[in-house]
Structures are given as C-alpha cells and as structure tokens.
Structure 1
Amino acid sequence: MTERTGGSRKPNGRSSIYYSEADGLWHGWVTMGVKEDGSPDRRHRTGKTETAVTNKVRELEAKRDAGKVDRPGRPPTVEEWMRTYLDDIAARKLQPNTLRGYWSETRNWIIPYLGKHRLDRLQPEHIDRLYARMYEAGKADSHVLKVHRVLSRALDIAVRREKVSRNVAKLLDAPSAGDTEIEPLTQEEARRILAAADGRRNGARWSVALALGLRQGEALGLRWKYVDLDRGVIRVWWQLGRLPWRHGCGDIAACTEDKHRRPCPKNCPKAKRKSGRPHTCIPPTAPRLCPKDCQRHASTCPKRVGGGLVFRPPKGKSKRTIPLPPELVPILKAHRTRQKAERLAAANVWEDHDLVFAQPNGQPIDPRRDWDDWKALLAAAGVRDARVHDGRHTAGTLLIEQGVHVRTVQEILGHSDIRVTQRYTHVASPMTEDGMQRIGRALWGS
C-alpha cells in the first residue's frame, strides 16, 4: 500500500491519498470539520488514477476552505427538507394560519409529487409536471401559484444555507393568478347595515368594521387601552387569532382513546374514493389511527394542547394608529357605557380582558360566532350575502370614492404593498364617472 499526504494541512487535519492493492483503486480522505457528536468529519473519495482522486480531494478542500461544507451523510430529499423548513424554520416566523396553509399544500402536493427527489437533483421539469397534475385536477391558477410560492421560499432558504446551489423554482415562470376580485358593498348597503346594527348588542363592532376597515381579528382583539376617545384615535397593535391544537397523547399513531378521529356519517356525500365510488364509513366503534405527523385531528384528541384563541401582533407590518371619524366617537362612547353596565350585572362571572367587543361574560368573541352575527345582520338589513372581510373591502372602496389618496388608504388599512390597495381603484366607478363628466365639460362644455 502506497500513501501520500496532500497539501500543507496541519498534521491532525491533513488530507491523505493512497493506493490500495486490495481493490486496485486510489483512495482519498479529507477532514471537513467536526460532526455534531465531536468526532472528525472525514469524507472519502475513490478513483482509478491518482490524478482523478487528487482532483476530487482538492475540490473537497476548496469547499471546506470556503466554508461550504455539506452536512455529513447523503443530501436530503425534498420531503425531508420541506419538513425541516416548516417545522424548524418557518414555524418561528409565520402566523399559525399561514403555517397551517403551507403544511396543507406541502402534504397534498409537494410531498406526493416531489418528495422522493433528492433536493440537489430537483429539476424544473419535475416542478412542471407537478403543476400539470394540479391543472389536470382542476385547480385554479391561484392555487398553483400558492404551491409555487411555498416551494420557492423553501428552496430560497436551502440556497442560503448551501444545501443546493440554485433555486430551480425560479427557473420557471410563476403561475399567474391575476388580481383577486373584490366585491365591496355599496354606500347605500353599508348605511342599511349600520341602521340595522343600531341598538344591537356589540352593534358598534360593525361601525368600526365599515369605517376603519379593520380585519376581523383586529376588531375582535381591540382593547380599550388602545382606544383614545378624547383624542379620537385607536392603535391597532393586537389581533385575536386561533392557534391550531396539537396532539398531547404522546404516541399519536397509537392514540385510540375516545373518538380520536371522528367517523364519517354513513350518508356523507363528500367522502369519495379516488375511483369515485361511495366511501365506506368505518363504524364508530372501530379505532381510527392518525399518521405519526397528523395534526388535522388534534382538536379531537382527549389530551390536546396549545390551541384556542390568543392575542398576537397584527399581520405583517399592520401595526398602526388610525384617527377616528368624528361620528364614530359618540357611538363608541355609548357602547362603552352599555358595556360597563353589562359588566356590573355580570359581577363575578365577568372575565376582564379589556376588550372593546366581548361576550356577555367578558370573554373574547369566537370568530365563528362573529361570522354568524354578521350574516344575521345582513339578513336583517335586507342586504345581499357577503363575507365579513367584504366589510374591509367596503371601507377601502368608500375611502377611494371620497377622493382619499391611495397612499393614505394603504396606511389606514395596513397594507404592506401598495398594489393590494390599488385593487380598490378600479371598482370606484363614481370617481370614474365624475372624471369623464369633467373631461367632457372641458372639451365640449361652455
């Protein structure tokens, strides 16, 4: 056996190249660093000639000296990296509902179609095929775009951490979803809603929604300490959100207590197999096991933890201070007076969270209950069906129609991107009609 040490490395970190008569190959060993357990991270290369192995050794040494050292072992698959990205990286920054959406797209599309590919061998053609499958399944452009963004963001982090040399998702043209269509209420419809809300419990909730354009969570999370009725301003610094429940049963796959996964009704119309045949429901007495990483059914886990309604900062850069319309101030003052009386009547039952809009016992209003109240209010006002979020769209549209500059509207609504606010400009038809009347008078009028 012939051995030669290469380079001018220190004795305890030098690379070695030698010829082995046992297999007739040249072997090279390079110390790349230290593993997590403290042992040396030695990488092995082989070749038929000394020159070939020397080149491989020098390539590893160059990576090591440049600080571009891969973790020991084989590169991760797309599935392994997506789990690492979502569990260890994205979970620290994303809002709970956003993270839940990322996991949904990853489980349903990215892992089934791309999960087995090695991360460093993923090609644009693989992603093209994924998008083709989504379109074949009848998915909308917006859905495909969401999957593209989740995958591209995960690959961006992989490039930054030198797991791969490039983000192959950026070699594709991103799917175009176009502008999301908004359906604001008209000024007349908004007035009818406010008239129907007058005298209702928490009726001021909808005055705030239509005048200030707060998101549902921002309105339900508004507290009196952030409302200055003397100066006529509010600070939108918190919102009410719902965290998903997590399993507390330890071994999720083995958890069969109670009805851990709710059985489908026997007449369930949505439960279809891929073949299109009717779903055969499992009897309620039979155990139904969750996958090891399943969080979907954690809400029915007998030992569930970590979920429920919580206060958290607003979405993105939406922390803002908004002046109140003068007409809204007496409405909120009257609401506060009624709430104080309600609090005295509740006595020891009242839970003080300092909420502007609360249940009769002071607890936060569940967003689902808030949605029901909105639907009942629309029916009472004789207004067409609309989402709670359409109240926010209505506020933005009315502001534009009143001639408020789009940048000011962006600040009031808390949009991080002006392009989101500009969606309201093309629906403000009264301003368009007024503009055409003015140019008509300028060209042909006396």
Structure 2
Amino acid sequence: MATPRDTSPSRRVRANGDGTVYQRKDGRWEAAGYVLAPGNTRRRVRVYGTTRKEALAKLTEKIATSNRGLPVPSAQGSVGAYLTYWLDAVAVHHLRENTHTRYTACVNRYLIPGLGKKKLAKLSAKDVRTWLNQLRTTCQCCTRGIDARRDQPRCCAVGSCCSKRLSPLTLTYIHSVLKSALEHAVREEEIPRNVARNVRTGTPRPRRFEPLTADEARQFLTAAQGHRLHALCELALHTGLRKGELLGLRWEDLDLDAGTAAIRRTLQRTSTAGLTTLPTKTRASERRIALPARCLQSLKLHREQQEQEREAAGTTWQHDAHVFTTPQGRPIDPTNLTRTFTTLLRKAGLRRIRFHDLRHSTATLLLEQGVELVVIKELLGHAHIGVTATVYAHVRLRLQRDAIDLLGHTLRNPDEISGKPDDGDEPPLVGAAVR
C-alpha cells in the first residue's frame, strides 16, 4: 500500500506566485520565482543563501520590488538599462537631490552613450579602460554636438577643433559613478564582480585655489563693515563654515553666552523643493564649534539689526528663525550670497575668488599660525584628517621649508651668524616669522 511522502522542509508547498525554495546538493539553499523585468516582461530569477531563511528573504525582497512596479534588472540586459534602474530605484533613495541630479547627468551624458549598449554580464575591465581612454582624448565639443547647436559654429564644423577635453577630476568622477552602480549590481548578485574597480584612472591633482592672505582678509572685512551681512563675513573667515552651513544657521543653534555654535543643517536650493534645509554634508560635519569674541560681538549687533528690520517689515516679515535672512525675513539664496560676496571683493579691490575660498583661507591662515591639523579638521568638519592633510598639502610643504630653514639656522656656526663668538646672553631662536 502506497503511503504519501512526508513533505520535507526543502519541499514545502508555497502559495502561487511566492516562488520555490529548496536545498541544493552542495548544501546551499536556492530560491526561485518570477519577477517583473525590463520591457514589461516577466522572468524567473534565482537567489542563493546559506540557510533557507536567507534565500527566502532575498527572493521575497525581489518579489516585493517587482510588485511595486519596479523591474528587476537582468545581467542579460544592457549596462544602460541597469544604470537607469539603479538611478530610479536605488540611488534616488540614498543620495541628496542635487547629488542625484549630478549622477543622472553623468549617466546620460557619458556612461550610457559610451557603455550603454554592452551587456551587463559581458562588461569587462578592458571595455571600461578602453572607453575611459577614448573619453580622455576626445573633444567633447565635437562628441556631444555642442558646436553643431551653435548659431555660428567655430569648432569641428569649420574644421578647427578646439580640443575641449575632460579634466582628470571629471574623469575620476565619471569612473566613481560607474563603480557605485556596478557595486550595487554585485550586491544584488547580478554580476560576480565589479570590473570597474580593476581599472585605475590615476589620482587627479587637487584643485588649485587662491586663499586670501592675512592682509587681504583684513581688507575684505574692512570693506564689509557696515554691510547688513558683515556678521556672516566675520563668521565665514573666523570659522571656515561652508556657505550652506552659514545660511542654515538658526538662532537656536547659537549660544552667545557660552560662545559656541552647533552646526546641524545646511541650506540648499533644489529643483523640486526650492530653498530647503537639509542635514549636514556628512555625520562629521555635524559639530559644535567655539566662536571668537569678535564674531560674538558682530552677531549681537546683527540680532539688533534684524529686530529693526522685522519691525520695519511689519506683517510682511516671514519668521523662520534663521540667523541670516533677507530684509523680509526669508532665507538667503546661495546664489544671491555669491553676488554679494563678489560685490564686496570688488569694493575691497581684491581679486575675484569663490566664496568657498574663504573656508580655504581660514584653514591656511590657521596652519601658518602653527595650529595643529587635528584642530583644523574638527573646526572644518572633515570626516577624516587625511582630507585636511591632502587639501592643504601645499601649506604644510611651506611650513616644512620654514622648519628646515629654522633648523639650518640653529646648526650654523655662531661666528657665521653674528661675526663674533656667542657669549650666551642672547636668547635662542625659537620660531620662524609667519609669512
């Protein structure tokens, strides 16, 4: 008499559409089910795990994503299809809006035209390296049709290529976006390895900047005297805060009695929400800093001035508790702050620099005064001290030269220094003058 077989854990009956889970001969567990694929089709996917629960969780996640209408990419699909899926279903939830906009522009402008037609599963490190080398040597004015869209062509269309090539920094950025997308494909077990990681683009030279000298900084602050944003200029030069951090400050973040400021947020303009307040750039950027006496005095005067503007505005005042606002109480647009900054530079008779160079000026002046790198790192809110050391390597080199000159002066024969024997009455040289 035949007896029904006992249902083993690996052959449990699951509801229709939930897929199947079973144990393989090698001991691993495999789960398989149908999900939505690009092109509004359905395909069977397989995932693996060391336990039944792990394999089932991976399959459930893919089916849930499919049920939300998001197609699960296939390694048989193209690189372009996967990049589109990655931007729309993954990166959009983990990146800030402005960063996602830059990633989208990078994908649509460079990655999809260059690698989009290749199969994801067949993409090799050689393909990536060849494409990057071609991108490095190609005139972008010709490739992207910029010259063809001009009213009066002046490049390839007239037989005179301008050789407008991408900078090493831009190439590194494009490479990093591709690496991020392929890394997620590895995590989703679409491809076995990230081939972009095997390609080296070289380390680009850090962007050169021209910080203000101590004399120029004093000229700038003198020109800002009497301006309604004088306190902002003082704070920018004394603390090195980013533009968004300055504009995102609220009065509740300041403790003028204790002389401290809590940096918790940043103000940015996005394409969908307009001016919006966001968390700081990184977790390390959220910090508490000390305020010098000069800034405390400026902020107290600024608060009195803001109260006068509030009374003058009357019912049109829009109270949002920001420290730096327009005369009507609204947050200041970062672009408008840049215009004001350029006007103050022109008034001071200084060369034109970026507002972010005030931050570089703060760090450079502090380094030249002998402040330790770790203190500057905490003040600027860098995530790692290596970032601080790399950005300001040129300043450290100059300080090394001063230190070597100081040592050479110490090791010289006293007769060569004074022309007479040292009687021991003169104090030793302990430091080099700050340039």
**TM-score surpassing 0.5?**
yes
Query: 1:145 matched to which residue of 2?
Result: 172
CA drift of 1:326 comes to 1.9
CA drift of 1:159 comes to 0.6
User: Contact (CA 8 Å) 1:32, 1:64: kept in 2 or not?
Assistant: no
Q: Which residue of 289, 292, 309 maps to 1:322?
A: 289
Q: 1:199 to 1:428 in 2, by over 3 A?
A: farther
Query: 1:219 matched to which residue of 2?
Result: 246
Q: 1:225 to 1:63 in 2, by over 3 A?
A: closer
User: Contact (CA 8 Å) 2:219, 2:348: kept in 1 or not?
Assistant: yes
Q: CA deviation digits over 1:210-264, x for unaligned, max 9?
A: 11111111111111110111000001101101112xxxxxxxxxxxxxxxxxxxx
Q: Does 1:400 align with 2:370?
A: no
Query: 1:347 matched to which residue of 2?
Result: 314
Q: Which residue of 354, 360, 365 maps to 2:327?
A: 360
Query: 1:239 matched to which residue of 2?
Result: 266
SS in 2 for 1:441: helix
Q: Aligned letter for 1:117?
A: K
Query: How far apart in 1 are the matches of 2:171 and 2:226?
Result: 45
Q: State the TM-score, normalizing by the size of structure 2.
A: 0.73
User: Contact (CA 8 Å) 1:241, 1:312: kept in 2 or not?
Assistant: yes
CA drift of 1:43 comes to 6.0
Query: How far apart in 2 are the matches of 1:60 and 1:226?
Result: 49
User: Contact (CA 8 Å) 1:32, 1:61: kept in 2 or not?
Assistant: yes
Query: 2:343 matched to which residue of 1?
Result: 376
Q: Which residue of 271, 274, 284 maps to 1:308?
A: 274
Query: 1:121 matched to which residue of 2?
Result: 122
Query: 1:269 matched to which residue of 2?
Result: none
Q: 1:61 to 1:312 in 2, by over 3 A?
A: closer
User: Contact (CA 8 Å) 1:78, 1:111: kept in 2 or not?
Assistant: yes
User: Contact (CA 8 Å) 1:216, 1:388: kept in 2 or not?
Assistant: yes
Q: 1:222 to 1:62 in 2, by over 3 A?
A: closer
Query: 1:298 matched to which residue of 2?
Result: none
CA drift of 1:134 comes to 1.4
Q: CA deviation digits over 1:59-94, x for unaligned, max 9?
A: 999999784879697633211211222222122221
SS in 1 for 2:288: strand
SS in 2 for 1:106: helix
Query: How far apart in 2 are the matches of 1:438 and 1:240?
Result: 45
User: Contact (CA 8 Å) 2:169, 2:204: kept in 1 or not?
Assistant: yes
Q: Does 1:34 align with 2:2?
A: no
Query: How far apart in 1 are the matches of 2:79 and 2:326?
Result: 46
User: Contact (CA 8 Å) 2:73, 2:85: kept in 1 or not?
Assistant: no
Q: Which runs of 5+ in 2 are unaligned?
A: 1-7, 14-19, 23-29, 37-41, 63-71, 139-164, 415-435
Q: CA deviation digits over 1:21-41, x for unaligned, max 9?
A: xxxxxxxxxx9533359xxx9
User: Contact (CA 8 Å) 1:145, 1:177: kept in 2 or not?
Assistant: yes
Q: Which runs of 5+ in 1 are unaligned?
A: 1-7, 16-30, 45-58, 245-305
SS in 2 for 1:128: helix
How does 1:187-202 map onto structure 2 within 5 Å?
187-202=214-229
Query: How far apart in 2 are the matches of 1:390 and 1:211?
Result: 13
CA drift of 1:333 comes to 0.9
Query: How far apart in 1 are the matches of 2:335 and 2:43?
Result: 57
SS in 1 for 2:338: helix
User: Contact (CA 8 Å) 2:239, 2:380: kept in 1 or not?
Assistant: yes
Query: How far apart in 2 are the matches of 1:141 and 1:154?
Result: 20
Query: 1:411 matched to which residue of 2?
Result: 378
User: Contact (CA 8 Å) 1:215, 1:389: kept in 2 or not?
Assistant: yes
Q: 1:117 to 1:356 in 2, by over 3 A?
A: same
SS in 2 for 1:327: helix
Q: Does 1:337 align with 2:364?
A: no
User: Contact (CA 8 Å) 1:218, 1:238: kept in 2 or not?
Assistant: yes
Query: 1:49 matched to which residue of 2?
Result: none
Q: 1:341 to 1:173 in 2, by over 3 A?
A: same
Count of aligned residue pairs for this structure pair: 348
Query: How far apart in 1 are the matches of 2:106 and 2:274?
Result: 23
Q: Does 1:441 align with 2:409?
A: yes
CA drift of 1:425 comes to 4.2
Query: How far apart in 2 are the matches of 1:42 and 1:99?
Result: 29
How does 1:53-64 map onto structure 2 within 5 Å?
none
User: Contact (CA 8 Å) 1:35, 1:72: kept in 2 or not?
Assistant: no
Q: Aligned letter for 1:427?
A: V
SS in 2 for 1:242: strand
- CA-based RMSD of the aligned residues comes to 3.0
Q: CA deviation digits over 1:338-361, x for unaligned, max 9?
A: 111111111111101111111000
Query: 1:96 matched to which residue of 2?
Result: 97
Query: 2:211 matched to which residue of 1?
Result: 184
How does 1:417-432 map onto structure 2 within 5 Å?
417-422=384-389, 423-427=391-395, 431-432=399-400
User: Contact (CA 8 Å) 1:397, 1:425: kept in 2 or not?
Assistant: no
CA drift of 1:336 comes to 1.0
User: Contact (CA 8 Å) 2:135, 2:166: kept in 1 or not?
Assistant: yes
Q: Which residue of 174, 191, 194 maps to 1:167?
A: 194
Query: How far apart in 2 are the matches of 1:64 and 1:351?
Result: 58
Higher RCO, 1 vs 2 (CA within 8 Å, ≥6 residues apart): 1
Query: How far apart in 2 are the matches of 1:433 and 1:208?
Result: 31
CA drift of 1:327 comes to 2.0
User: Contact (CA 8 Å) 1:33, 1:42: kept in 2 or not?
Assistant: no
